[in-house]
Chain A
Amino acid sequence: MNNKIITPLEASDKVKKSIAKRRAKDKRLKFYGRAAISLAVCFLLILFYSIFLKGYSGFFQYYVTLDINFDRERIDPKGDLSDNSLFDGEASAIVNESLFSIIQPQGRKAKKQAKKIVSSGKDVRITKMVKNDPSLFGTITKVKFALDDDIDSFLRGYIKRETPESERRISNKVIEYIDKLNEEGRISYEFSDYILTGSASGNPEMAGIKGAFIGSMLTLSVCLLIAFPLGVATAIYLEEIAKKNKITEFIEVNINNLAAVPSVVFGIMGLAIFISIFGMPRSIPLVGGMVLALMTLPTIIISSRAAIRAVPPSVRDAAYGIGASKLQVIFHHVIPLAMPGMLTGTIIGMAQALGETAPLLMIGMVAFIVDVPNSVVDPGTVLPVQIFMWADFAERMFIQKTSAAIIVLLGFLISMNALAVYLRKKLERRW
């Protein structure tokens, strides 16, 4: 324990002794870093994998082919193809007859169970077909019908034969009938014509995302139409026109705060102000779009300001030099150069808005909407809310369709983000 100055030689020795441990620690840190990134990537892959696995089969479902006798008098009693007439018709009964002729159920109970095999949308299918093509009347044509979701789950193997009948959702008799239909080659597994063209339904086999998708498109359009002009205008004003004083600072603080507020709160505001005070109807894309616009506004403002700031002062100086006025400099010179950055910021903001659920729940876009909205003031829902609602339902087929809907949603988000990245690369200027 003598206090002495260490000679370079001694120091070198000590350093050399310490090297091994220190290098080991260095390797460890590198390893932890790699492990962390791998873990994060793993999470991502597991997420995508599990959704894809569940969702891929959501695009397909089981169908049964039956020979349908398009008897005009029974399907369209009034003979004018009107909704009333078709409603009074017996399309369902005809389908059941065709089915019974194959499986021949005996007794009331068996018949009742057999009636449930084909999806309850069978009459709608028939009536749609005859409306589109009245020449079907008088023919016997093969028609594919979706099978009820329990049958579908059975055919996929989620409901097993081995389970005792009392614990199963479908009875032994029904399994018998399915086997019979299978033997005749009438059961097929095809791309679902419901998932993309159907709307919300309580029956999983008929459920589709068309209504939600159109609702999303309408809501996003409203959001874009409101948020983009307002956001760009605010960015222009704050960056180019307003003097730096207390008021502009206050506005900036406000914008940063709004960016930090949880999305739920915007929904509450929409509920209290747009719906309660202004008395606007709930559940319409117009109100949803307004709420989302206010949410996306900070994102667009901040990215637009950054884009405007990136335009070098030399451009402005040159324009002023030839006598342009302030607004002419802004609109003829600065904005076109800043537009790529503004666009990418807006696309990213829209992508975020597309995936938002909570604020739209608050303003009531959650009711059981069956119709496809035709305008921004018709009640509708959006894709993420549809996913949320379906996730609650216990039927197996809903799980698959929900995953399929998620795949569609993610597909759109990836394309939008890819578009933003592409635009940014393509239109990037190096000053």
Chain B
Amino acid sequence: MFNFYLLSSILLISLIFFFLGNNRAKKLIILNQKNLHSLTHYYGVYSLLASLLPTLGLFFIFTICDDLLFAELIKKYIPKEVVTSKDYNFAIVLAQINNSVEGLIFGTPPQWVTNAAEIWVSWVHKSQIITVISCISTALISGFFGYKKINSDFRSRNAVEKIVMSILAVSSVIAILTTIAIIFSVVFESVRFFALIPYDEFLFGTVWNPQFEGAERAGSGQEGLSQYGAIPLFAGTLLISIIALCVSVPVGLFSAIYLSEYATSKERAFFKPLLEVLAGIPTVVYGFFAALTVAPFLRSSGSIFGLDVASESALAAGLVMGIMIIPFISSLSDDVINAVPQSLRDASYGLGSTKNETVIKIVLPAALPGIVASIILAVSRAVGETMIVVMAAGLAANLTANPLEAVTTVTSQIVTILVGDQEFESAKTLSAFALALTLIIITLAMNFYALHVVKKYREQYE
């Protein structure tokens, strides 16, 4: 609530400066009997921005730094015994204090918690006063300076436009910031993971059995209790992706061939969007379909043939994932097939080829790099897919090539580990980050390769 009122006041002050600036500009026009460089509203906007932007910046700095600063300073108020105790976890202590601050009291917290909370609250009050004073004064002072700048020579529109362009530039940096944030968050925690588990065990170990544990791993006589060999996960991901490709590549490719070479324009206008619908269905719906329709169906038809199909088989998840990926392959392949120049087809028909000879011997080989790229992109999508495998494939790591068994994948392990209780210090939680890192590297590598293939292919025709 406090923030809301403060922000509203800041906004109000800037608006006042807008009117002041506008009016001053109008007066100058009357005074000088001629127009200024820019339209009057630009002077108003300039004053508004002069008042608003520095103040907003200050406001955000205060708000963000507050909590960080308090968290550091409150450390002094945690008794020594607590800090040196075995289970000490600053995040939990901080949460306790925060709960007390907000009045969420369960039972009777220790006295030091209540004390610390009281001190925190007093700090918050002090900081609020400081924030209000500095923000309001900044708004007034900087707004006044902006207002002062308005004279007959001032080219306000240029100034305003420069400010706007900087804002636009900053927003495009957000994309980079996001990438940095992703890399930072994943790499940072993965590094901590690899400090606990050697990475050759992670990459080459064949048993995946993470547990929450109180004790350190090695050297406590509990070897073999928790293992982080990710090979079964990679194998599971691979198995399901291969099954998905077995469905999507034939269906997608032949659909693309038909739509681009054989279909009438009516057929194309009807079926192409229909295939796109497959891509628009949320993956949770596919997961539900896989778990509650496809898996039981496979299980019962399996038993007819005397096969033992697990209720969470890789086959069920793979089939449904294949269905989801069909449009990736059909759409992209359709585009590259259409991009093959008509002159090649003319040459082929001119020699007396049938349509399928032209397609198979001339068009497809020419389009092949693009088709391969589309398959790689589809695989990368399959590898990164989460919901279908969480809902339809198993959770137990199982190193097998049998599609009728239950396997788990990298993504479903990430979800399983991070949904629920987390201790950011344990190897189990950190392993999810290591898995995420592997996932990012693999999918980005595949995307780079696919783009590279498409680029080379485009050079051929341009």
Name the CB-closest residue of B to A19.
B354
Chain A: minimal CB distance from B326 (Å) = 5
Chain B: minimal CB distance from A391 (Å) = 5
The answer on a CB contact under 8 Å between A36 and B424 is no
The answer on a CB contact under 8 Å between A262 and B386 is yes
Name the CB-closest residue of A to B383.
A262
Chain B: minimal CB distance from A381 (Å) = 12
The answer on a CB contact under 8 Å between B186 and A265 is yes
Chain A: minimal CB distance from B286 (Å) = 8
Residues of B within 8 A of A255 (CB): 175
Contact of A409 among B182, B188, B285, B385 (CB under 8 A): B285
Chain A: minimal CB distance from B6 (Å) = 17
Q: Which 10 A-B pairs rank lowest in CB-CB distance, beginning with the nearest?
A: A33-B258, A262-B384, A355-B282, A272-B185, A36-B254, A233-B171, A29-B356, A234-B172, A358-B386, A237-B168
Chain B: minimal CB distance from A317 (Å) = 19
The reply to whether the CB of B208 lies closer than 8 angstroms to some CB of chain A is no
The answer on a CB contact under 8 Å between A257 and B179 is yes
Given contacts A357-B283, A413-B280, contact A40 B326 (CB under 8 A): yes
Given contacts A36-B251, A297-B175, A362-B415, contact A387 B181 (CB under 8 A): no
Chain B positions 428 through 443: 1 when the CB is less than 8 Å from some CB of chain A, otherwise 0? 0000110010011001
Contact of A399 among B157, B253, B292, B355 (CB under 8 A): B292
Which of A41-49, A81-89, A103-111, A129-137 touches B?
Answer: A41-49
Given contacts A237-B169, A264-B436, A366-B419, contact A406 B288 (CB under 8 A): yes
Number of B positions contacting A (CB below 8 A)? 89
A391 to B447, CA, bound (A): 33
Which of A20-28, A70-78, A173-181, A194-202 touches B?
Answer: A20-28
Contact of B280 among A254, A403, A417 (CB under 8 A): A417
Chain B positions 138 through 156: 1 when the CB is less than 8 Å from some CB of chain A, otherwise 0? 0000000000000000000
The reply to whether the CB of A263 lies closer than 8 angstroms to some CB of chain B is yes
The answer on a CB contact under 8 Å between A357 and B451 is no
A386 to B378, CA, bound (A): 28
Task: Pick 13 A–B contacts, CB within 8 A, sort by A.
Answer: A23-B354, A29-B262, A40-B326, A237-B171, A254-B178, A262-B440, A265-B439, A273-B181, A278-B64, A364-B419, A366-B419, A385-B284, A413-B280
Name the CB-closest residue of A to B260.
A33
Residues of A within 8 A of B185 (CB): 268-269, 271-273
8 Å CB interface, B340-388 against A? 352, 354-357, 359-360, 380, 383-387
The reply to whether the CB of B44 lies closer than 8 angstroms to some CB of chain A is no
A301 to B385, CA, bound (A): 23
Contact of A260 among B262, B291, B436, B443 (CB under 8 A): B443
The answer on a CB contact under 8 Å between B175 and A269 is no
The answer on a CB contact under 8 Å between A30 and B258 is yes
Contact of B359 among A29, A54, A257, A298 (CB under 8 A): A29
Which of B24-32, B116-124, B271-279 touches A?
Answer: B271-279
The reply to whether the CB of B444 lies closer than 8 angstroms to some CB of chain A is yes
The reply to whether the CB of B304 lies closer than 8 angstroms to some CB of chain A is no
Further 10 A-B residue pairs, CB within 8 A, beyond A22-B357, A237-B172? A40-B251, A47-B285, A54-B292, A255-B175, A261-B182, A265-B186, A272-B186, A276-B91, A327-B164, A354-B282
* Interface size band for A: 35 or more
The reply to whether the CB of A256 lies closer than 8 angstroms to some CB of chain B is yes
A272 to B430, CA, bound (A): 11
Residues of A within 8 A of B205 (CB): none
Given contacts A36-B250, A301-B175, contact A410 B281 (CB under 8 A): yes
Chain A positions 4 through 28: 1 when the CB is less than 8 Å from some CB of chain B, otherwise 0? 0000000000010000001101101
The reply to whether the CB of A159 lies closer than 8 angstroms to some CB of chain B is no
The answer on a CB contact under 8 Å between A234 and B174 is yes
A347 to B390, CA, bound (A): 28
The reply to whether the CB of A361 lies closer than 8 angstroms to some CB of chain B is yes
The reply to whether the CB of B287 lies closer than 8 angstroms to some CB of chain A is yes
Name the CB-closest residue of A to B377.
A260
